[in-house]
Amino acid sequence: MSTCLRRREFIAGLGGAVAAWPRAAGAQQAAMPLVAFINSGSAGGYQHLVVAFRQGLKEAGYVEGQNVTIEYRWAEGQFDRVPVIALELVSRGVAAIVANTPGALAIKQAVTTIPIVFTTSTDPVQMGLVASLARPGGNVTGTTNLGVELIPKQLEMARELLPGARSIDVLVNPTNPRPKSS
C-alpha cells in the first residue's frame, strides 16, 4: 500500500474543502474562500512547492485571486512561531489549511473542523497526525514522502551507490518534530 496520496486525490480533497466554503446570499458577490499555506521554512527554499501548489489548484479549477485567496506564511525556521501563525490564520476563518509537519501538528491541536492537508517527510501515524494511512480520520489528511518502511531501502541504495563507504551519516534538524523511537 502506498503511503502517499496521489496528487490528484490531494487536489480533489483540497478542492472539495474550498468548494464547501459558504457563499454570500442573494445578489451579493460570493466571498472567495481563504486557503492558508503554512511552512516552517523560508519562502526562498520552497518556491517550487508554491508553484506546484498553485498549478494543482489551477488544474482543479481554482485560480489565486480569481476564485480563491491564498495566504502564505513562513516561520523562517523558527518552529515556535508556527502555532502563533496557525492560530492567527484560523481566527481569520480559513476554509482549508495546507501545512508541513510543524504547522499541521500545531493546527490539529487547535482545530477540529477546518480541513488540514499536510506534507511530511516522516510517518504521519507515528507523529499523531492521522489514525492510519488507509483511513486518516478527522479533519486531517495529506502526503508523506518518507515512510518508515522506506528508510531501510534508502540505506540499502546508499550502500549500493557507495560500496566502499565505511559509514553513512545523516543530517537532521533536531528541532523538527520527528517520529518517536520505538
Interval 78-127: pLDDT, tens: 888 888 888 888 888 899 999 988 888 888 887 888 899 988 877 888 88
- Higher pLDDT residue, 30 or 2? 30
Q: CA 101, CA 122: separation in Å to the nearest integer? A: 8
* pLDDT averaged over every residue in the chain: 77
At 172 the pLDDT is 63
Sheet of 69-74: strands edge to edge?
A: 69-74, 34-39, 96-100, 116-120, 140-144
Answer for the pair 67, 21: CB distance below 8 angstroms, yes or no.
no
CA–CA separation, 39 vs 77, rounded Å?
Answer: 9
pLDDT score at 86: 83
Confidence of residue 4 (pLDDT cuts 50, 70, 90): very low
User: What's the pTM?
Assistant: 0.65
